[in-house]
Amino acid sequence: MVLRQPEVQKLAKISLRLVKLVSKKVQWLVQMRHLKKEV
């Protein structure tokens, strides 16, 4: 599979966006868990 430079950059941007979304969701889940423990 040969990728041209623009395609590689596009894939990198998409994966970065996904990673950011996932990390946000993980942080949110952790916060919810902490809140449940406090209650």
Alpha-carbon torsion angle 29, 31, 33, 38, nearest 10: -170
Q: Give domain status of residue 16, yes or no.
A: yes
Q: Assess contact for 3 and 11: CB atoms under 8 A.
A: yes
Radius of gyration of the chain (CA): 17
**Whole-prediction pTM:** 0.59
Per residue in 1-39, pLDDT tens?
676 889 999 999 999 999 999 999 999 999 999 888 766
In a domain, 24, yes or no: yes
Q: Is residue 14 part of a domain?
A: yes
Give the residue numbers spanning the domain of 26: 7-38
Say how many C-beta atoms besides its own lie within 10 A of residue 37's C-beta.
7
Is 25 part of any domain? yes
Count of domains in the chain? 1
Q: Is 2 within a domain?
A: no
Alpha helices in the chain (DSSP H): 5-38
13: tokens are 């941007």
